[in-house]
Amino acid sequence: MDVKSALALGLIHTLGSLNLKGARAVGSAIGTLLCWTNSRMYKVTKKNIDLCYPDLPEAGRKVLAKQSVLETAKSITEIGIAWGGTKEKFARNAAMIENVRNQELFDQALEKGDGIMILTPHLGNWEFISSWLPQRCDLMALYKTSKMPGFEKAMLKAREDSGATLVAGTARGVKGLFDHYKQKKVIMILPDQEPAPKSGVWADFFGISTLTPKVVHSMVKKNPKGTVLFAYVIRTKDGFELIFRGLSDDIYSEDVEVSATAMNKGIEECIADAPAQYQWDYKRFKRHPAKYYKGL
């Protein structure tokens, strides 16, 4: 195993031995340090919040940026717990989900039997979905390949131990995801990553023209009777809350820009549930002509 993977996995396993309160305390400490040192994570987070909340006073944007860095750090330090590895640990993790909001949306779509596309934004800690969703459906999820092969292998095993099937974001992997959805099963996609230009369409996101993945629209065309839902897990005082949310009917539009705009608007509504828990440190507008991140 490569050295970077070994170090990362060693840290994750160490954090996984902590309870949730302990892991969050470590995350808060790391997040505080990242803010205090004016780290790249803090600077990108602050830039994105400045762009997306221009009407919020400067002092409020600074507070939100610091809160977001702390929450993102907690998401990282919770990974060791989220990657349960055993039935007992996944059951423990499922018990940490203290409430499921709008579960009827998922249950009704599952009963309908035409397939479900779950869109999971980088909000809260989506890793904990794997302790709940695969126990109720035949789930296939798309993942982004890692530059650390040893880490990726361990990540896949940890996630697939939950019962989910994972496919890489390659041509072959995406085809497998398409086939799974065409068979009227359940798939999960993270919809708020910036795609390659040929795989995206420009659509409004927080008032900014944003390169947005076309894959969701393509999936809808392959299975127009399927149901598209958001699902995300936000942090509560002692655990988590799993939330399902529907989308505007525009998500099913034949016009890719209309569909992408509906998706982005839906992501904005999800973020409004817990703005500080969104991972604002991702360079979502990297390909925008304005070069927002120049110098960061």
In-domain check, residue 103: yes
Q: Which pLDDT belongs to residue 131? A: 83
With contact defined as beta carbons under 8 Å apart, do 205 and 219 qualify?
Answer: no
Task: Find the angle CA(169)-CA(171)-CA(173) to the nearest 5 degrees.
Answer: 50
Q: Which pLDDT belongs to residue 121? A: 96
- Termini Cα distance of the chain: 32
Residues contacting residue 203 through CB under 8 Å, at least 6 positions apart: 209, 210, 212, 257, 260, 261, 263, 264
Q: How many residues does the chain have?
A: 296
Q: Which pLDDT belongs to residue 167? A: 82
In-domain check, residue 282: no
**pTM: predicted TM-score of the whole model, two decimal places:** 0.92
In-domain check, residue 259: yes
Q: Which pLDDT belongs to residue 166? A: 80
CA atoms within 13 A on the CB side of 272: 8
Q: Which pLDDT belongs to residue 145? A: 67
Q: What is the pLDDT of residues 204-236, one digit of tens each?
A: 999 999 999 999 999 999 899 999 999 999 999
Pick the closest to residue 175 from 140, 204, 147 (CA basis): 140
In-domain check, residue 295: no
In-domain check, residue 154: yes
Q: How far apart are CA 72 and CA 42, in angstroms?
A: 10
Pick the closest to residue 267 from 192, 188, 187 (CA basis): 192
**Domain of 37, in residue numbers:** 3-277
Sequential DSSP letters for 247-271: --GGGG-SSHHHHHHHHHHHHHHHH
Q: How far apart are CA 201 and CA 214, in angstroms?
A: 6
Domain count, the chain: 1
In-domain check, residue 28: yes
Residue by residue, pLDDT tens for the chain (296 residues) are 556 556 666 777 777 788 999 999 999 999 999 999 999 999 999 999 999 999 999 999 999 999 999 999 999 999 888 876 677 877 888 899 999 999 999 999 999 999 999 999 999 998 898 889 988 999 998 877 666 666 666 666 666 667 788 887 778 888 999 999 999 999 999 999 999 999 999 999 999 999 999 999 999 998 999 999 999 999 999 999 999 999 999 999 999 999 999 999 999 999 999 999 999 999 999 999 999 999 88
With contact defined as beta carbons under 8 Å apart, do 83 and 159 qualify?
Answer: yes
Coil vs helix vs strand at 224: coil
In-domain check, residue 7: yes
In-domain check, residue 294: no
